[in-house]
A and B are shown apart, each in its own frame.
Chain A
Amino acid sequence: MKVRYFAWMKRTVGFADEEISPPADVRTVGDLVVWLRGRSAGHAEALAEGAAFGAAVDQRTATFDVPIGGAREVAFFPPFTGG
């Protein structure tokens, strides 16, 4: 599964994307957030509890309770500021 980071989260994590194989008990976006925090200090900071960020599963906006089983791509990003 590919995980992608955007805007300031990309800078904080240190790269734009990574290939990961989380264990089977990582079932939802929220589980993945908790698991990713353990990968580096940058991950822990970008995905910290209370940090304002959203997620997408296979390029559709997703809440933290959405399952990630079978997903090809999960993305994390700050609130949108386009327009």
Chain B
Amino acid sequence: MAVRVQEADFDVGAELEALTSGNRRIGGLAVFVGLVREMHVREGLHRDRIDALTLEHYPGMTEKALEDIEAEAQQRWPLEATLIVHRHGRLEAGDRIVLVAVGSPHREAAFEACEFLVDWLKTKAPFWKLEETPAGEKWVAAHEGDDAAAARWEKAPK
């Protein structure tokens, strides 16, 4: 059960090995790796290629928010191991940006909890993307689809 926010890259194989090592109750490990993708944004008549971005975050709150999300996943599913590693700073297209790994005795819980964690961290953890375009820097706007994805997991009020 761990949350890390760091500037450095991570080694997926080494992270998964460390996460599952010594725990024989894990029957399934679901893993999500987010990458910075090359994007093309239309600005008027121009089409700009974005090939780098800077991720700003709120040190202190970020870790708390990710731990809250992790705790929520552990309440909802029978999980043996969880790991969230999120990078910040300047990242280029193709770079790894986030790792979410969830181990459970059974695959259904691992898949569901992994998707839940990714959906919630996008809308509940304080990160902001600043894109570099040939025309200058541009803050990324929140995506409505992300809110809808996160809302799928909201529990109906009692």
List residues of A whose CB falls within 8 A of some B CB.
4, 6-8, 52, 56, 59-61, 75, 77-83
Q: Select one of A52, A61, A79, A83 contacting B65, CB under 8 A.
A: A61
CB distance from A53 to the nearest CB of B (A): 11
Residues of B within 8 Å of A, CB-based: how many? 29
For residue B133, CB closer than 8 A to chain A, the reply is: no
Find out whether the CB atom of B122 lies under 8 angstroms from the CB atom of A82: yes
How many residue pairs link A and B with beta carbons under 8 A? The number is 71
Beta-carbon nearest neighbor of B63 in chain A: A59
Q: Which A residues are CB-close (under 8 A) to B123?
A: 79-80
Determine how close the nearest CB of chain B comes to the CB of A38; give it in whole angstroms: 25
Taking a contact as CB atoms closer than 8 A, the residue among A56, A60, A61, A77 that contacts B128 in the complex is A77
Contact B64–A82 (Cβ < 8 Å): no
Asked if A80 meets B128 with Cβ closer than 8 Å, knowing A6-B56, A7-B56, the reply is: yes
Cβ of B141 and Cβ of A81 under 8 Å apart? yes
Q: Which 4 A-B pairs have the closest CB atoms?
A: A82-B127, A79-B142, A83-B122, A59-B61
Interface residues of B (CB under 8 A from A): 34, 55-58, 60-61, 64-65, 86, 97-98, 118, 121-130, 139-143, 146
Interface of A is mostly: loop
Contact partner of A77 (CB less than 8 A), chosen from B58, B122, B129, B143, is B58
Closest Cβ–Cβ distance, residue A76 to chain B (whole Å): 11
Known contacts A60-B61, A75-B58; decide if A82 and B125 are in contact (CB<8 Å). yes
Cβ–Cβ contact B140 & A81, under 8 A = yes
Bound complex: CA of A77 vs CA of B60, how far in Å? 15
Pair A78/B128 contact, Cβ less than 8 Å: yes
Chain A residues, CB < 8 A from B56: 6-7
Chain B residues within 8 Å of A77, by CB: 58, 126, 128
